[in-house]
Amino acid sequence: MVNKLEIDGLTHTFGGQNNVHVLDDLSLSVAEGEFVTLLGPSGSGKSTIFNLIGGLFKPDQGDIFIEGERVNGQRGHISYLPQQDSLLPWRTIEDNVVLVQEITGKVDKAAAREWLERAGLGGYGASYPDVLSGGMRQRVAFIRSLLSPQELMLLDEPFGALDELTRLDMQDWLLKIWEMDRRSVLFITHSIEEALYMSDRILILSDKPARIVREIEVPFARPRHHDITLDNTFNQLKREIYQMLKVGNQND
């Protein structure tokens, strides 16, 4: 089976007055229906990886393949969910959800209403974003991503701006909705616990220039519940990952 995403030997340097070598021979893959998380130090190049996959610029070396097609420098192949929900305040919730569909010319408002209902937002379709809480706004943004035609989803710390209780609730909600659809996901987080809770695999990045230094297969069955965070294996893995990241920072 062809991987949904395949990155081979990605190297990138930002030019300017002081060149910054961000990525060094980085390779990774995301299989069909797999949830993979990138975990690494701040500034290690996680967002640069997303920008390269999204085609915002081309890598200096290496190749990016989506469903077997080389897409270096090409846009329009991914669905992207940033940390901020980016809802348009002058559009209703329903109209925000179908925004990407409008761009592609295939609007399905019935599907939008169905997914809003599944998300517990069925009564808000005609409302505007300012009446929603932060967690509710992120639900709308995620539904908008699900309704885009692209089957590879890049989630860039989508819960980073939420308080702790809302964040835990959103983790459970996203996994529940994801189980219904099973898109291929590449996820960025700074939280070790979140990575272990959400993922099938975790890829540990070094500091700049970033490369994959460890791959962890998460051993917990799905569907998941937050009581696994009390499991001895969960906490052992959490300690091991913490030490990896700590040692990596000390070696720089």
Q: pLDDT value at position 252?
A: 46
Is pLDDT above 80 for 32?
Answer: yes
Paired with 217 in beta bridges are: 201
Q: pLDDT value at position 1?
A: 60
Is pLDDT above 60 for 16?
Answer: no
Is pLDDT above 50 for 124?
Answer: yes
Mean pLDDT, residues 195-205: 95
Q: What is the pLDDT of residues 74-105, one digit of tens each?
A: 998 999 888 888 899 999 999 999 887 887 77
Q: What is the pLDDT of residues 136-186, one digit of tens each?
A: 998 898 888 888 888 899 999 888 778 888 888 889 988 988 888 889 999
Q: How far apart are CA 221 and CA 120, in angstroms?
A: 26
Domain boundaries, the chain: 1-78+151-158+180-252, 83-149
Closest to 62 measured CA to CA, from 9, 5, 23? 9
Tell me the CATH number of domain 1-78+151-158+180-252, given options 3.20.20.210, 3.30.450.20, 1.20.1250.20, 3.40.50.300.
Answer: 3.40.50.300
Question: What DSSP string describes 6-51?
Answer: EEEEEEEEE-SSS-EEEEEEEEEEE-TT-EEEEE--TTSSHHHHHH
Instruction: Between 59 and 84, name the one with better pLDDT.
Output: 59
User: Average per-residue pLDDT in the chain?
Assistant: 88
